[in-house]
Amino acid sequence: MSQKRETRPAASDSSGPDDRSGPDTAPEAGHRRRLDLRADCENCFGLCCVALPFARSSDFAANKPAGQPCRNLQDDFRCGVHATLRDKGYQGCTVFDCFGAGQQVSQVTFGGEDWRTSKRVGRGMFDVFPVMRQLHELLWYLTEALELERARPAHQEVRRALDGIEELTRADAATLAAADVPALRAEVSETLLKVSELVRAAVPGRKKNHRGADLMGARLKGANLRGANLRGAYLIAADLTGADLREADLIGADLRDARVAGADLTGSLFLTQAQVNAARGDGSTRIPATLSRPAHW
């Protein structure tokens, strides 16, 4: 996984006025924060290829326990089969996104020491990396929330949460390893739900509520899901071809193998690169300008 992701920068897919900015947060500040929340594999020691376990499946060609380097990881921390990951059976690597946690742990938490330096450093890095990834994921959502003009009534609460988590990401390894991430996620989830309700309330018409719904393989071709609540929905292999998903809340939605050709995801709430990478889109799929179009589409 340690290599530039299988994505390419997307041209802005948005149309109409952009309502994702406001005086609460300068656009350039949000842009800088988002850059820090993107994987920079050149400044990471291949942590996703070592710290995380994976099991032999349709996503991975072999078993690997946590803390053991992937057999494809080279001495320079690059992936030896990056260009052919899908052909080699490592599709799971092409959809993973660390939200910039890899370089944060490598260069900030451990000051540029790599896990090959000593077992102590390695153990610390491997314990902290999954924690940092979750913290950075929360920062991605909160950064987006601050950019949503319609969520202005919740911006003060969002900013408090964002500042607190940012401070935690700069803490030492012991503090990070001891962080109560489930409690943090639950607290942030409530804040983001307020944001979602404020934004979706402005969408005209009745909005569908599919929160946590089992929609695996569902036939939703051309469906009007604008402003829908799809938080945590199982959309695995669902047919969303040509569907309207603008302003739909997609936080935690499972989009693995979902067909999104021709779908409109611009303005969708809390969509991540990992979700986009896992879906099956094409050149006609419209995605937020903050995300990159996967090269395998």
Banded pLDDT at 296 (limits 50, 70, 90): confident
Structure tokens at 7: 């994505």
Does the pTM surpass 0.95? The reply is no
Residues 6+ apart with CB under 8 A from 32: none
Question: What pLDDT was estimated at residue 283?
Answer: 94
**Dihedral, CA of residue 200, residue 204, residue 209 and residue 215, to nearest 10:** -100
Give dist(CA 53, CA 155) in Å, integer: 37
Q: CB count, 10 Å around CB of 292?
A: 17
- Write down the pLDDT at residue 30: 66
Q: Could you list the beta-strand ranges (E) of the chain.
A: 7-8, 293-294
Q: Where in the chain is the domain with CATH 2.160.20.80?
A: 206-297
**What b/e sequence results for 146-157 when a residue is b if at least 16 CB atoms lie within 10 Å of its CB, and e otherwise?**
bbbbbbeebbeb
**Where does residue 196 rank: exposed (0-12), middle (13-18), buried (19+ CB within 10 A)?**
buried
160 versus 13: which is more confidently predicted? 160
Return the structure tokens found at 1: 């996984």
At 94-109, the pLDDT tens digits run 999 999 999 999 999 9
Task: Return the pLDDT at 7.
Answer: 40
pLDDT at 155 over 90: yes
Give pLDDT tens digits for 106-134: 999 999 999 998 889 999 999 999 999 99
Cα–Cα dist 54/15, whole Å: 40
77-94 pLDDT per residue, tens: 999 998 899 899 998 999
**What is the C-alpha separation between 103 and 122, in angstroms, rounded?**
15
pLDDT-based confidence at residue 295 (cuts at 50, 70, 90): confident
Q: Are 223 and 244 in contact (CB under 8 A)?
A: yes
The percentage of the chain sitting over the pLDDT mark of 70, rounded to a whole number, equals 89
CATH architecture assignment, domain 206-297: 3 Solenoid (2.160)
Q: What is the pLDDT of residue 209?
A: 97
